[in-house]
Structure formats: structure tokens, C-alpha cells
Chain A
């Protein structure tokens, strides 16, 4: 058996306060709705899925686990690009260094003009995905 909850009447001041509080909160609810994506025009941000697809072929040519090297473009996108590649190639660990026996190149926007001298291109998988062999491995 549950005994009923007891109540006390709110004072007029408390009623005004509750009303004011609720209205202010609902203003933020309007902001939540305005900032929500438009259901009619939702385009899923599938950058990660596309990255998985880009690296799917080269992944089948790589060892199942271990550490390989990684080189990519510079600039603001270099860190996000690295994480997307790392996510796509997990459970391999990508070390941001060219000094490995196997090195993945990620050059979506432009082909590299000056590659590290120790790297030899093994295969170009298209979409900026390159596989290198490192000649002075760690």
C-alpha cells in the first residue's frame, strides 16, 4: 500500500515564480527545436562511413593487427583525417610516422609532392589511399 503524497498550497509569490521559471525554460525549448535538424532535409553526416568505404580495399591487404605508419596531408584537416583513418583501419594501430615497414598514405585532396625518401609506393588504391613500403623500418 502506498500512502498518498501530502501537499501544501503554494503562496502567490511562489505561483508567480513557477510561472516565470516555466516560461523562461520554454524559451530554451524553442531554441532546442530551432537548432534541431530539419526532418525534411536530414542528410546523415556519414563521413565516417565514407572513410570506412575508402579504406575497405586496402584494409584487406594489411595485417589483421599490429602497428603501421601513417602519413597524410597537412593543415587543419590533418588530425581529423588521421582519426578517420585510424577508425577505419582498427584494430590496426596507426603511428603518425613514415618509419614503419608498412605505411598508409591518406591524400584525399592532392597527391604528395615530396614524400619521405624512405618510402616506396606499393599501390595506389584510388581516392587518395596509398600503400607504401618503408625501407628503414623501426
Chain B
């Protein structure tokens, strides 16, 4: 019962934050689902930060503090709701792909099968490996949670450098959330990390499907859901209790919210839905609180927004919304609390990381061309195999891209451009870390590159199906305009950008 109370309060805190910032009382079903999935991840993030701060400040009355936090969030939610205007949610201006009935049914059946298979396999894996499938689960995350829960005022001992390979500089989103729920049930039950792992796995899947259903339509959403649910490595990691799937959730949330913001900015006549951008910033902050790679992603996202400033000081007249400078300010305001918390953790609490060696050794590695070639080869190999697929979905994506030619006329919208730039910068950052790693390069690549790719995989699927339905719309438009049964309304669906 207490576990339900704890997880319920976590979800409620996430829901209050998300609902306070997310305009649109009359959202459609897909958007409501998207809200719920984001709330689940945000709630766990808030619960983690709350427990960590309580431990840091030495607060022992956890439930009372949590109830105060919920009351505060409720007050914020009610205040914003009272000010909010009731507004309709405009449809996506991009057309979804319409399939013949037989193919639509086949697609939906395949979607259902792949989701059920994913659920079945993940739950069985969690039952078979209740302490996580792999060493990182209890050597890093669950061990840290034990120190937070059992350590009392000595919780910082869990960050001791005497415990080898435990990466004490990793941020504590997962350990904090686990320890918080344990404090409700009174003992360190292994079911808690297993549940949190499953929540993030299916929230990621749900967020991918619901966000594409909102932005494009059910066909794109179902295809994306099939692509992710049929990635064996995603399912394997989903039950492993590692932090890579939660991180992928926050990456996807940030990018999906950015696109929803972009779409609403262009469609809401009386101003920009800045709350969505604030939530995108919060997702970045939670990512930075999950793993060091999240901090890299946050900076990549910021750089991609800064890159948009010089070219887009003013939005085009046909695209109402915030200018890029103001967006950047909002993003900085949203991410600053998380950045301060992360930097505070790294500066005042955690020891320094283990990825940086002395300047001479690093310089030697930077000047060794063989390392670059080795990393590139592993990038190429893992592009084909990281998902452990039968037929690599990455190759299928490339094939699908060729099958649906781009119009060659329109440029992608700013959100898409900045998202691709963010992913590219993140991949470059991963590359740079491998170049300077003090560990054996091949060992490091072998045991981490597939997980780094997996962190970005849900976002890549999201962006791929966003771009594919744009291309399909354009292709169908040109075909239908030249045919006898011209589908006229298509003309209005194409983005002005």
C-alpha cells in the first residue's frame, strides 16, 4: 500500500507541474496520454530531487515535507489554471499517411503485438532478474540508493572513491527516487528499482507513440511504436535497472516538447505556449540529473538554440511566436535550477569524475589518429547492430528515406533543425569522450557505445517519423495534384518554413 502511495504522490507531483505549464484544457486523447507519460517521468524526477534535498538538508520528516511540496505544486497549478483561457487545440498542419483498410488493420495488429510482446518480455526479465540484469544495477544505482536510504547522516559515504568503478560523480536521479520510495515502505525492497525501471521503459514507449500521434497522426505513431518496441536491446535494458532508458525518456521528452511548442507557436493566434518550452527545459534538467551524458545533451540543446539566434532574431510574419533570443532566455531560466543543483552536487558533494586523466596523457590521445579511426569503425558497426535486431532498423530507416523522396523545396522547420543539431553535437561529445578516455579504448567502446546509442534511439525514431510524414505529405501532394482525383486540401498542410 505504501508503495502505491509513494508512486502515486510522485506521479501527482509530476502531473501538477506538467499541467501547470501545459496550456490547452481541451486537449485531445493523444495529447492527454502524452501529458500522462511525461508526468510519470517528471514525477519520479521530482521525487528524486526532493529526497536528495531532504537528505542534504538533514530533513527527517519525509512524508510531511512531501505533503508540503505537493501542496505548493497544487497551489501553483490552481493559480495557473485560474488564469488560463480555454482554447481549442489545433490539428497538426502536417497530414498523416492514410492507408487502405487492410494495411491499416495490419499495422494496428502489428503495433498491438509488438507492444504486448515488449510488455511480456520486460516483465518476465524483471521477474527473472529482480536485482537488475547486469552489474551496474546494484554496483552503482541500487548501491547508491542503499546509502541514501540506510546511511542516515552518512549517506555521502556512498560516493566514496574507495568503491571502485561506482562512478561517484554520476548524478542521483535513479538512486534518489528509489531511496524515496523505500523510505515510504520502510525497507529496501528490490521491487522498487524494478518498478521504476519498468515505468521509464513504458513511459518512453508511450511518450514516443503519443507525441507522434499528436504531431502527425496514428500511422506515424504506430510505426514508431513498432520500431521501438521491436528493438530487443531496448527491452533488455528496460529490465536492467540501468539509467540509460530513463535518460532516453528525458531526451525524447525535451525534443517532443520542443516540437509541440513549435507547432503550437505557429498555430495559436494569441501568443506562444511558453509553458511547453519551460517543460522542455525541465526535461533537459532532469536528464542532467540522471547521468553525465544528460549534461552533455543539455549543453548541445543550448548550443543548437544559440545557433538559431543570429538567423532568426524575428520569427517570420507567417509564423507567430517567440523569437529565438526570448526562447533562449526561457530555456536558461527553466534549466538553471537543475544546473545549479547538478553543479552543486558535483562541486560540493561528489568527487571528481574518472574520465579525465592528466593534460599530457589527454593531449597524447588527442594527437593519436588511430583512436579516431577505431572509434569511427565502432560507430559504424554499432549503427548496424546496437539494437540486436534481426534486420537492423537503422538500415530500414535509410531505405525508407530513399523510398520517400524529399521535395527538395522546403527546409525543415527550426525545431527539427535544432533537434538534429542537438543529436549531432551529443554524438560528437560521446566521440570526444572516447578519444580522451583513460580506460582501454576497445574495452570502453565494447561495454558502453551500444548504451549511448540506445539513449538517443527513441529520439531518433521520433525525428525520423516526423521527417518521413513531411516527405510523404509532399510526395502525395505532388502525385495527387497531377492525378485526376486531386486531393486539394493537402496544399494547406505543408509548413511555410
Binding site for B on A (CB under 8 A): 1-11, 13-15, 17-22, 24-33, 35-37, 39, 42-49, 64-67, 79-80, 83-84, 86-87, 90-96
Contact = CB atoms under 8 A, between A and B. Distances in A.
Contact of B95 (A7, A18, A45, A66): A7
A91 B146 contact: yes
A66 to B, nearest CB: 8
13 contacts: A6-B489, A8-B473, A8-B490, A21-B396, A35-B232, A36-B120, A36-B124, A36-B125, A46-B131, A65-B154, A87-B142, A90-B158, A91-B157
A19 B106 contact: yes
Nearest to B157: A93
Interface in B294-351: none
Contact of A90 (B106, B146, B393, B400): B146
Contacts of B89: 1-3
A29 B114 contact: yes
Given A35-B236, A83-B143, A90-B151, 19 more contacts: A5-B218, A7-B95, A8-B98, A11-B476, A18-B97, A18-B107, A24-B390, A26-B113, A28-B232, A30-B390, A44-B128, A45-B131, A49-B190, A65-B152, A66-B154, A67-B160, A87-B138, A91-B150, A93-B158
B146 A42 contact: no
Given A9-B98, A65-B154, A87 B139 contact: yes
Given A90-B158, A93-B157, A3 B88 contact: yes
Q: How large is the interface on B (under 10, 10 to 19, 20 to 34, 35 or more residues)?
A: 35 or more
A56 to B, nearest CB: 13
Interface of B: 26-28, 88-100, 103, 106-107, 110, 113-114, 117-118, 120-121, 124-125, 127-131, 133, 135, 138-139, 142-143, 146-147, 150-152, 154-155, 157-158, 160, 162-165, 190, 217-219, 223, 226-227, 229-232, 235-236, 387-391, 393, 396, 399-400, 403-404, 472-473, 475-477, 479-480, 487, 489-490, 493
Contacts of A24: 390-391, 393, 396
Contacts of B396: 20-21, 24-25
Q: Which 4 pairs show the lowest CB-CB distances between chains A and B? A: A91-B151, A7-B98, A36-B121, A2-B28
B98 A26 contact: no
Contact of B130 (A39, A45, A80, A96): A45
B162 A95 contact: yes
A35 B387 CA distance: 14
A66 B153 CA distance: 12
Contacts of B26: 1-2
Contacts, number: 226
A22 B110 contact: yes
B488 to A, nearest CB: 11
B117 A32 contact: yes
Nearest to B86: A1
Nearest to A3: B91
A42 B92 contact: no
B211 to A, nearest CB: 14
A123 B391 CA distance: 57
B383 to A, nearest CB: 16
Given A28-B231, A48-B138, A14 B162 contact: no
B117 A33 contact: yes
A28 B127 contact: no
Contacts of B235: 32
A4 B154 contact: no
B493 A6 contact: yes
Given A33-B117, A96-B164, A8 B232 contact: no
